[in-house]
Amino acid sequence: EKRAGAGWLWVNRGRLVDGTRFVLASLDQMIQWVEDIIPSGVDKKAAVMMMAGKLFDYVVAPAFPIWLKPATPLIRELVVNILVSAVIDFIVSKYHTGIWMKDENAQ
């Protein structure tokens, strides 16, 4: 919902927070899912990044406002290849150090 008097660049913070939680939870589930299926760590990351790209294409990109649509390929590149890659590395490092606990019900 849009605030009264808000400009066209206004961002709904509630949706941003909810969306961020959804993406992090999705990445976590994807990482856990490929853990036992794919033997190589590099291949695991590539698979998760491919799935994250599909998630972006089907969920995130269609939700962009019309003025942002022309920048979709650039935003996708930044989000998937830079941000998601770093988040995957972060989550995996937290699993390896025992700080991030795996969800045993994820399977």
pTM of the predicted model over 0.85: no
- What is the reported pLDDT for 107? 46
Q: Write out the two tokens for 45.
A: 């990351």
3-state SS assignment for residue 8: coil
pLDDT for res 40: 80
Task: Name the nearest CA neighbour of 84 among 23, 40, 42.
Answer: 23
Q: Which helix (H) or strand (E) holds 11?
A: none
**pLDDT one digit per residue (tens) for the chain, 107 residues:** 555 555 666 666 777 678 778 888 888 899 888 988 888 878 899 999 999 999 889 888 888 888 888 999 999 999 999 999 999 999 888 888 877 666 655 44
